[in-house]
Amino acid sequence: MSKAIVVDNLSKSYLLKHRAAQAPAQKSLRDTVGRGLSNLLRGDGQRSRGAGGDLETEEVFWALRDINFEVEQGERVAIIGRNGAGKSTLLKILSRVVSPTTGSVRIRGRLSSLLEVGTGFHPELTGRENVFLNGALLGMSQAEVRRKFDEIVDFAEIERFLDTPVKRYSSGMYVRLAFAVSAFLEPDIIVLDEVLAVGDAAFQKKCQGKMRQLAAEGRTVLFVSHSMGAVKEMCDTALILEGGRVSNGKVSVDEAVLSYMRRTVNTECAHLPFHTEDVDCLNVLILQNETPVTECDGGKPIDVQIEFRVHRPLQNFRMGFYLKTVLGEMISRSLAADWNPEMETVMPGDYILHARLPEDLLVAGSYVVEIHSSQFGVCDYFTDMLSFPIAVRRSSRYNVQHIAEQPFGYVNVNPGWRLESLSLA
């Protein structure tokens, strides 16, 4: 399969200027006028001080550093990472909006990019005129654009406003038309930033279907999003950017999402003990066979122990955990008071709360145990600050003939299958 994009040792730097205010010094009028005349006569434009005598310093900031990857024709690649990781800078370089500082990018085919709302649109032109303008920018003739025009309008659902200047469009209308233009004017490569998040759920679903169709037709898709659900739905492989560098190279989208979510789950905030005015979380243990683990055997019970301290008598007290996917989707909430009303009232002291997830409950995958404590209707104590990732291996009781089969859902259900024979051949 041919390469659609080849990125080789790509780096991008920016020069940042900082200004530090200095305490005003007592100067005579003669000193001030003399310094001004000296600067004017020198005329070299160099200043060590900013306005008001502020000191200026310069810093080289590397938005991207030594990026290397290849994208095959027809591949759908996600680019994920935290804010400031360099995702948008990378897409702008690929889209030839900005130039790299070092390195090179080789692109095979016609590329269409949608990096922000209204990319490539002239605000004073109508929607109809902007469709033809974008087609021309992509190197298409008016006849080629006309053949696709009705499909673009139908997809964007803006027929009533087609002859209205786009400066009067809502952000949703902008996005619908911009995506339709990018997708239907037959680019070989389509580059999309988080802009699709502006559209409503129904439109996002249409976009996902169109992107799958583009990939099936051999088009290449690069997609940036903070929505891991959308990434998994729309892409096959992914790159994780961290601090302007690619982490672990290009990997499967499932592997990338799990890796990214493990990095971003609030474990950096889970330094124990965690203190509040009323309740302290002293320790949290995930156990199997009385041994602390981060990877669990799905065929055995998983024990959760929460050690906490209460500083004053509390009523309507809640302590327990939320079980979530690494995408943040709730699987179950389990609080002690849900099952034991006597635990709603606690006195000052130290406690250990014990809980157990039964064997064969969780499908193989990665999960998050998020510790929760609150006074019902009054306050939350931990406010999702205490999260602990766990990985679950497939239960040994699962049919070993299908060990390579992909897991579905999150919870195992054994409904007690029973085969009744009605007749034998």
DSSP one-letter string for 289-312? TTEE-SEEETTS-EEEEEEEEE-S
CATH class of 63-264: alpha beta
All structural domains of the chain with their residue ranges: 63-264, 268-402
**Per-residue model confidence (pLDDT) at position 174:** 83
Three-state secondary structure along 69-90?
Answer: EEEECCCEEEEECCCCCCHHHH
Check pLDDT > 70 for residue 21: no
Check pLDDT > 60 for residue 267: no
Calculate the CA 332 to chain-centre distance. Answer: 23
pTM: 0.62
**Per-residue model confidence (pLDDT) at position 392:** 87
The single-letter code of the amino acid at 90 is: L
Higher-confidence position of 22 and 242: 242
pLDDT confidence band for 128 (50 / 70 / 90): very high
Check pLDDT > 90 for residue 230: no
Which segments of 117-199 does DSSP mark as H helices, in order?
Answer: 127-137, 142-156, 171-184
Mean pLDDT, rounded, for 210-220: 79
pLDDT confidence band for 1 (50 / 70 / 90): low
Do the two domains 63-264 and 268-402 of this chain adopt the same fold? no
Check pLDDT > 50 for residue 390: yes
Q: Tell me which of 256-260, 323-327, 404-408 is least confident.
A: 404-408
Q: Tell me which of 42-46, 110-114, 174-178, 311-315 is least confident.
A: 42-46
Q: How many CA atoms are closer than 13 Å to the CA of 254, on its beta-carbon side? A: 4
User: What backbone phi and psi angles, to 5 degrees, belong to 152?
Assistant: -65, -45
Check pLDDT > 60 for residue 51: no
Check pLDDT > 90 for residue 175: no
**Per-residue model confidence (pLDDT) at position 405:** 59
Architecture of domain 268-402: Distorted Sandwich (2.70)
Check pLDDT > 50 for residue 73: yes
**Per-residue model confidence (pLDDT) at position 22:** 58
Check pLDDT > 80 for residue 5: yes
**Per-residue model confidence (pLDDT) at position 25:** 56
**Per-residue model confidence (pLDDT) at position 266:** 53
Taking a C-beta distance cutoff of 8 angstroms, is the pair 225, 256 a contact? no
Q: How many CA atoms are closer than 13 Å to the CA of 418, on its beta-carbon side? A: 2
**Per-residue model confidence (pLDDT) at position 46:** 46
CA separation for the pair 319, 281 (Å, rounded) = 10
Check pLDDT > 70 for residue 198: no
The mean pLDDT of the chain is 83
CA separation for the pair 184, 378 (Å, rounded) = 53
Q: Say what percent of the chain tops pLDDT 70.
A: 84
Cα torsion 128, 130, 135, 141 to 10°: value is 60
Taking a C-beta distance cutoff of 8 angstroms, is the pair 274, 371 a contact? no
**Per-residue model confidence (pLDDT) at position 281:** 94
Mean pLDDT, rounded, for 112-128: 78
Check pLDDT > 50 for residue 245: yes
pLDDT confidence band for 47 (50 / 70 / 90): very low
**Per-residue model confidence (pLDDT) at position 353:** 96
Check pLDDT > 70 for residue 116: no
Each residue's pLDDT tens digit, 309-363: 999 999 999 999 999 987 778 899 999 999 899 999 999 999 999 999 999 899 8
**Per-residue model confidence (pLDDT) at position 55:** 72
**Per-residue model confidence (pLDDT) at position 45:** 44
CA separation for the pair 109, 187 (Å, rounded) = 8
pLDDT confidence band for 93 (50 / 70 / 90): very high
Check pLDDT > 70 for residue 38: no
**Per-residue model confidence (pLDDT) at position 407:** 65
pLDDT confidence band for 112 (50 / 70 / 90): confident
Each residue's pLDDT tens digit, 140-150: 788 988 999 99
Which segments of 48-126 does DSSP mark as H helices, in order?
Answer: 87-94
